[in-house]
Chain A
Amino acid sequence: MGGKEATVVGRDSGIAVRDLSVASDGRWAIRGLTFAARAGSLQLILGERDTGKTALLETIAGLRAPSKGAVLVGGEEAPPAARRRALALIPREAPIRQLRVLERLLLHDTPRAAKVGIQWKQGREEARALAARVGLDALLDVPYEALRPVERKLIEVAAAVRQRPAALLLDEPTADLGPHEARHFLAILHRILGEEKIPGVLATTWPRDAFPEGSSVSILWRNADPATLSLDGMTESALVERWTGGLDIRRAPSGPHAPGDVLLRVEGLILHGRGRETSLAGVDFDAAAGEVLAIVGAPADGLDLLHDALLGNRRPDQGSIHFLGKEIAKAPRRVRVESGMTFVNPPIARDQSVDEFTVEENLILGQTHVPPFARKGFLRPESVRGNCLRALEDFEIVGATPKTRLRDLSLGQRQRLIVAREVIHNPRLLVVRSPGQGLSLDAQEYVRRTLILQCERGSGLLWLTDEPEEAMRVADRLAVLTLGKFVWLPVTETLTREAIIAEMSGAAA
């Protein structure tokens, strides 16, 4: 992998980086990156987590000093201060949430009356015109935090355009979007870039974001030099192949599994969404031992709500959740775990590990109330250590010791540890949510394989994801969550990603 392939720099307009190196935490994050994006085009920065995408965007925006290299705006080298004024960076998480959409759109340049008051009438007209460009002019008075993720991203784009930037820089805007939402967002982004005649630079972990309208892509690897490729004539699978170096990530599971006893039964589940989130409108399903039930949906289309209900974070408004015949809809997570249900969340989830704890402490998180890790209120260090050594060996977690702090491990190693913790005691049912999201592709495959193996040992596996391909790869049965309800799709050779996306977006109806 690696190697520079393009050396084109900026021409009359647009943005370009030339031989740019960015260091992060004393390591080389990016070495010798070169690319150019013309006005109206979109340059993608593709890379796994921790490859320096955010650092690169911050460097281009003038917020961080490069180790070497130059950034050209409009064909001329621009110093950091000029770039800070000229470029608009949209971070992954919006920093301000307690505003109405109207206020958010006017935040950086509010129309003034006598330099002190606010001209709300004029401001509203300006905000309405901006919001109309992204199709959200009906939402001016909605609280920003009540918006769906895709709407928030579009509002951020509209607000950035108001600053008349020379280029838009976007940090993983599609990370929390379902595939149909990502398409919608990218289509509008391309249109706005064209209308404004400015380039865009978009960091992402999804190769799909490069199609159909991306112009070129720069790939960042953790231990190799970056490469810039033209997307002319390139297919998505060819890009994945180039990115992964031929890793066989399309491996099929070991075959359909024969379902055993029903473990989990959900009936008539209704849960009202927050803000403009789609509510769950009566969901019914069973999950059985020895099978993988995959549920695909966009986070804001009810997947987050269903996950919260299963985790015990939210109580359903109506309906029941029975686990092993026992009603658990109102039970806390500890009761669920002690009954044999365990959870694996996305690697970046904040609620499944403690970064400041050691590896051995993280491996007993949530299991200290039962033997063998505690007795009479005291921890048993020998059991804790033994459990850790066994997990490190069985799950091939290289470079970690029982006393290593979790924060010193890579994201992939952390997720392996969490998977190890959850499967090592043979749970009855595993509820997993996008367990490989953002990981390196081989780490994704390892996590996936480990979970499937646990299913083959007899555990039930309920797999929630917003990525159709992932669901197709693991599912014995597959349901699409659309408009708060399930649409069941047969898992056959003819099932395609496009068919699932069509169901997710409601287009199939």
Chain B
Amino acid sequence: MIPGRCRAGKREILANALVLLALIGGTHALGVGVLDLNPSRWTAPWTGDVVLVGAGLLFLGVAFLMPLHGGMINLGIHAEFLAGYSVGAIIVRGGVFGPGLQAGLGLVAGAAVGALVGFGIAALRQKFAVHEILSGLLGAALFVPLARALSVDRMAPPALAIDFPALTQPLKWAPGLSLAPGVVLAWGILLLALSMVVAVLFAHFLRATVSGFEVRASGANPLAAAAIGTDVEGIQRSMMALGGACAGVTGALQLWTSPAVALERWPFPLGFAGIAVALLGLGSLRGAAIAAFVLAAWLNTPYVAHVLGQPGYGAGAAALLLLPALWILPRTFPDFGAPRAVWRTRHREG
């Protein structure tokens, strides 16, 4: 069992399934209405992107879920993502290292800077009572011009290229996908494995360790956690830093991999994709993994680029993707707000 963080039931699962159905069906219907149904269109977008885009989305989903388990809403996820992107771009611009080393350094630095941003957002809340939602959104606004200014062309072919001869031909087990020559797929599989390992390890950490128990207690009832001596604030800073690292590494990834092209179809700022992934996954790590790959497949379906390229349709898709926040977020914080509202009788139920 992978721990969940919300009290969603069958109705919420059904609602999320309907959202995905509306998203996929709606895109297809709109696309068919605009473009001729040409089977050749089906092959072009189906590359190894699905794997790598899924991995990126899962990283972002985990970036939102880690702080959520500790009781914080990581709306700084886009700021962390852009911070990772910016620092990766700085390394590329420096041009001091070879492409392979640049790629490795970029990922590490992206994770570090993302973690720093997450930590800062948590610290702002704890030291200066700046709510994490406010500081997160302001942080994103701050990093947008910086990321634009530092932006560089992506490495093409990807700097992380490894030539796998066995993958230079379409795979026998998926000939219809016409998967591209191995580089993207190979690194996609590695990154997918990494994102899955992060998710599974975090789930195991939550379920089986004393520290994970304290993280869950801090998120579910900070008063009770503090009463048993847990350092609730320390846990929240750590979770925000870990989530920031995941978002930062995804930001840096955009510089090194061609699937960024597919991710660019995302109808709102990419960092916030983690929120959609986490909430479509009902706040659980297992659900986030499923949602990430469904959305990755959707992004690679025919017509998506055309449909989402039109502002009206893009806005509709964005609204659908964020709709689950209405019924999932209130269920993730059963005690949200109450501890702050109760002053004089703070040990009693409000």
The residues in A between 361 and 410 inclusive whose CB is less than 8 angstroms from any CB of B are 361, 365-366, 368-369, 374, 377-379, 407
CB distance from A203 to the nearest CB of B (A): 15
Determine if B349 is an interface residue (Cβ-Cβ < 8 Å). Answer: yes
Chain B min CB distance to A503 (Å): 24
CB distance from A346 to the nearest CB of B (A): 7
CB of A332 within 8 A of chain B?
Answer: yes
Q: Does B17 contact A (CB under 8 A)?
A: no
9 closest Cβ contacts across the A-B interface? A334-B229, A366-B228, A351-B227, A351-B223, A356-B220, A354-B221, A348-B349, A368-B210, A354-B220
Q: Is A176 an interface residue (CB 8 A)?
A: yes
The residue that A355 contacts in the complex, of B208, B221, B345, with Cβ under 8 A, is B221
Distance A431 CA – B341 CA, assembled complex (angstroms): 26
Min CB–CB distance B70 → chain A (angstroms) = 14
* Per-position 1/0 for B191-232, Cβ under 8 A of A: 000000000000000001111011011001101111111000
Q: Please, which residues of chain B bring their CB within 8 A of the CB of A352?
A: 224, 227
User: Is B173 engaged at the interface, CB distance under 8 Å to the other chain?
Assistant: no
Interface secondary structure of A, over-half rule: loop
* A93 interface contact, C-beta 8 A: yes
Check B335 for interface membership: any CB of A closer than 8 A: yes
Interface size in chain A (residues, C-beta < 8 A): 38
Q: Does B348 contact A (CB under 8 A)?
A: yes
CA distance A101 to B238 in the complex (A): 41
The contact of B7 among A149, A335, A349, A356, by CB within 8 Å, is A356
Contact among A176, A333, A357 with B220 in the assembled complex (CB-CB below 8 Å) = A357
Q: How far is the CA of A176 from the CA of B343 in the complex (A)?
A: 14
Note all chain A residues with C-beta closer than 8 A to B338. Answer: 350
CA distance A337 to B228 in the complex (A): 8
Asked whether A345 and B229 contact (CB < 8 A) given A354-B224, A377-B210, A378-B208, the answer is no
**Which residues on the A side are within 8 Å of B7 (C-beta)?**
356
Does A85 lie at the interface of the complex (its beta carbon under 8 Å from any beta carbon of B)? Answer: no
Residues of A bordering B, CB below 8 Å? 93, 97, 145, 149, 176, 274-275, 277, 299, 304, 311, 332-335, 337, 345-346, 348-357, 361, 365-366, 368-369, 374, 377-379, 407
Smallest CB-CB separation from B207: which chain A residue?
A379
- B268-297 vs A, CB cutoff 8 Å, 1 = contact: the mask equals 000000000000000000000000000000
Set of chain B residues within 8 Å of A332, measured between Cβ atoms: 229
A407 cross-chain contacts in B, Cβ below 8 A: 334
Which listed residue (B217, B227, B341) contacts A333, Cβ 8 A?
Answer: B227
CB distance from A436 to the nearest CB of B (A): 15
Q: Which residues of B contact A361 (CB under 8 A)?
A: 213
A368 to B209, CA, bound (A): 10
24 interchain pairs (CB within 8 A)?
A93-B350, A97-B341, A176-B348, A274-B344, A334-B228, A335-B229, A337-B229, A348-B348, A349-B348, A350-B335, A350-B339, A350-B349, A351-B223, A351-B226, A352-B227, A354-B225, A355-B334, A365-B224, A365-B228, A366-B227, A369-B210, A377-B211, A379-B209, A379-B213
Q: Is B10 an interface residue (CB 8 A)?
A: no
Which residues in A have their C-beta under 8 angstroms from that of B227?
Answer: 311, 333, 351-352, 366
Chain B contacts for A368, CB-based, 8 A = 210, 213-214
Q: A374 CA to B227 CA in the complex, in Å?
A: 19
Task: Determine the chain A residues whose CB is within 8 A of the CB of B226 once the complex forms.
Answer: 351
Q: Which residues of the partner chain A approach B339 to less than 8 Å between Cβ atoms?
A: 350
CB distance from A353 to the nearest CB of B (A): 6
- Name which residue of chain B comes closest to A357, CB basis: B220
Inter-chain contact B344/A350, CB cutoff 8 Å:
no
Contacts of B217 in A (CB 8 A): 354, 357, 365
**10 more CB-based (< 8 A) A-B contacts, given A145-B344, A176-B348, A350-B349:** A145-B343, A274-B343, A275-B344, A350-B221, A351-B221, A351-B347, A354-B217, A368-B214, A374-B210, A407-B334
Pair B343/A350 contact, Cβ less than 8 Å:
no
The distance in angstroms between the C-alpha atoms of A111 and B98, with both chains bound, is 74
Which residues of chain B (291-349) have a CB below 8 Å from chain A?
A: 334-335, 338-339, 341-345, 347-349
Instruction: Tell me whether A350 and B229 are in contact (CB under 8 A).
Output: no
B208 CB contact (under 8 Å) in A93, A356, A379? A379
